């Protein structure tokens, strides 16, 4: 392998001649070989770093701090990095010491060496274009890294938001398709009351949809950046006007509504926005995992479980049991969600561990937040395409379980009283007789009233059952006068207190 000699404050090193990175990146490669995952594996982050460097070069040229020819070469190099042409040159491990200095230097060196090529010079001729004196002009790792970090998080959050929106729509579509499938709801895994399968799936859509709005809110929080703060927030080594100018140029480049933090010292040391985002990702993960738990339960069996829905068969499920098909897509999403939940703890601990004017643990927060955003986005898309869109309802099974359940006796409680209904359920279990036979035999209900009350389609919302009460129970029912009845039918209450407005 051919080499070139590069120097830094610690001495000389041989850098591979083909490499666009330089000596400081080479040292980071030797020091931080931990995960095997490089920052180049997160192209949004590389794109964000190049955006920051381009904005800085533009601002420095406008302020007369950077030679035009050098500045334009840096701008062109940044443009090419943003296009993804040099992702493989971003070789630093995602976890490293130094608060992200190695990431910043990796970007500085790649951009400097590409700028040198564009100017017809050899890589490593840093007297012409320097990674530090030119590419890093008016900057510090402590404002470059967190600014690029936030921009990348916003881009990744938008990807997740789009994936969740599509998943939400898929659940709502199933809600409409299953709107006429009546089944038994369950609480604490026990029979409850009738519901439609469509209502269950529509509820999943609402659950997922809520978080698309929350992601947009957090993205706005992340758009407040500390570029121009340099080392600790004082703006040392910049000229007056640099910070607002570079922020404006960066907003133009990224297309994001970026704003400069009103207190750059606070913004340089605080990691609260990362904790907020991480907590939201945990919330998304918890909710998605719960939905996948439901899908596995509803499809369980299929012959000895609930079997109310069928998930698409995407692969054989067993190496020993022929014909077995497992709910592998929900299982995949469960595990992704478990990883995200664990990542949230890491982000929390790293944010808390910051000291004085800088939190040095940005790399581990970046590692975990990027992973959480990326795998949640992929998992949401896989869940939609490989599972939800292909779910079918087992209508006959839903009806079989519905009519075989004593849970519908709940509808009798307003008519015969809770205690009497509970006794009927207990006796029906003990004797094997139907609640209908027991109630008619005991004179608690007329057959026609029972049949009307126990119509599952009539149990799916509020209804007035007072007309089904017999004997003394009917006499004890509170009556409304004509005025009160009219007001109630108009939704205005009974006049016996303040009306409750309906949103």
Q: Where are the alpha helices (DSSP H) in 178-241?
A: 197-222
Distance CA 366, CA 372 (A): 10
Task: Indicate which residues carry an active-site annotation.
Answer: 318
* Beta bridge mates, 16: 3
- Classify each residue of 359-370 as buried b or exposed e, where b means 16 or more C-beta atoms within 10 Å of its C-beta: bbbbbbbbbbbb
Q: Which of 352, 350, 305 is nearest to 324 (CA)?
A: 305
Tell me, what DSSP letter sits at residue 135?
A: I
Distance CA 220, CA 154 (A): 8
Q: Contact, 183 vs 198, CB < 8 A?
A: no
Distance CA 56, CA 147 (A): 12
1 burial type by CB count under 10 A (0-12 exposed, 13-18 middle, 19+ buried): exposed
- Cβ neighbour number for residue 459 with a 10 Å cutoff: 17
Distance CA 389, CA 177 (A): 11
Q: Contact, 438 vs 424, CB < 8 A?
A: yes
State residue 36 phi and psi, 5-degree precision: 80, 0
- Cβ neighbour number for residue 338 with a 10 Å cutoff: 13
Interstrand relation of 182-187 and 190-196 (parallel, antiparallel or unpaired): antiparallel
Distance CA 338, CA 437 (A): 50
Distance CA 230, CA 142 (A): 6
Residue whose pair of structure tokens reads 């999943």 in the numeric block: 204
State residue 13 phi and psi, 5-degree precision: -145, 155
Q: Say how many Å lie between the first and final Cα of the chain, rounded.
A: 73
Residue 465, CA distances (Å) to 241, 480, 483 in order: 74, 15, 21
């Amino acid at each position: 392998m051919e080499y070139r000699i590069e120097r830094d404050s610690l001495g000389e090193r041989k850098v591979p001649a083909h490499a666009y990175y330089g000596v400081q990146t080479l040292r980071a490669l030797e020091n931080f070989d931990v995960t095997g995952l490089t920052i180049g594996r997160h192209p949004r982050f590389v794109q964000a770093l190049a955006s920051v460097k381009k904005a800085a070069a533009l601002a420095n040229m406008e302020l007369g701090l950077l030679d035009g020819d050098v500045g334009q070469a840096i701008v062109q190099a940044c443009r090419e990095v943003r296009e993804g042409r040099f992702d493989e040159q971003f070789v630093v491990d995602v976890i490293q010491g130094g608060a992200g200095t190695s990431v910043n230097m990796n970007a500085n060196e790649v951009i400097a060496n590409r700028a040198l090529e564009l100017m017809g010079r050899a890589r490593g001729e840093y007297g012409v274009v320097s990674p530090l004196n030119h590419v890093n002009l008016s900057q510090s790792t402590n404002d470059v890294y967190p600014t690029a970090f936030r921009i990348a998080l916003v881009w990744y959050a938008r990807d997740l938001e789009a994936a969740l929106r599509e998943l939400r729509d898929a659940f709502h579509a199933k809600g409409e398709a299953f709107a006429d499938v009546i089944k038994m709801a369950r609480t604490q895994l026990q029979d409850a009351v009738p519901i439609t399968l469509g209502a269950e799936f529509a509820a999943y859509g609402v659950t997922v949809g809520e978080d698309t709005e929350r992601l947009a809110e957090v993205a706005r929080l992340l758009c407040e950046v500390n570029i121009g703060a340099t080392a600790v927030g004082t703006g040392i080594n910049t000229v007056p006007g640099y910070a607002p100018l570079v922020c404006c140029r960066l907003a133009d480049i990224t297309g994001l509504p970026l704003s400069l933090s009103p207190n750059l010292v606070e913004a340089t040391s605080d990691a609260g926005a990362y904790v907020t985002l991480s907590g939201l990702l945990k919330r998304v993960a918890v909710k998605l995992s719960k939905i996948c738990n439901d899908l596995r339960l509803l499809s369980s069996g299929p012959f000895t479980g609930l079997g109310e829905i069928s998930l698409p068969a995407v692969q054989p499920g067993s190496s020993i049991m022929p014909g077995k098909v497992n709910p592998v897509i929900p299982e995949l999403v469960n595990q992704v969600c478990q990883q995200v939940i664990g990542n949230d703890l890491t982000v929390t601990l790293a944010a808390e561990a910051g000291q004085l004017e800088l939190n040095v643990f940005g790399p581990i927060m970046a590692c975990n937040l990027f992973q959480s955003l990326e795998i949640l986005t992929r998992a949401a898309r896989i869940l939609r395409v490989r599972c939800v869109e292909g779910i079918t309802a087992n209508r006959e099974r839903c009806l079989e379980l519905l009519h075989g359940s004593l849970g519908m006796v709940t509808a009798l409680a307003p008519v015969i009283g809770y205690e009497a209904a509970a006794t009927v359920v207990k006796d029906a279990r003990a004797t094997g007789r139907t609640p209908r036979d027991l109630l008619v035999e005991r004179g608690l209900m007329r057959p026609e009233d029972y049949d009307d009350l126990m119509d599952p389609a009539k149990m799916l919302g509020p209804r007035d059952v007072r007309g089904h009460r017999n004997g003394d129970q009917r006499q004890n029912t509170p009556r409304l006068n004509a005025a009160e009845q009219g007001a109630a039918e108009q939704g205005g209450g009974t006049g016996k207190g303040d009306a409750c407005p309906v949103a």
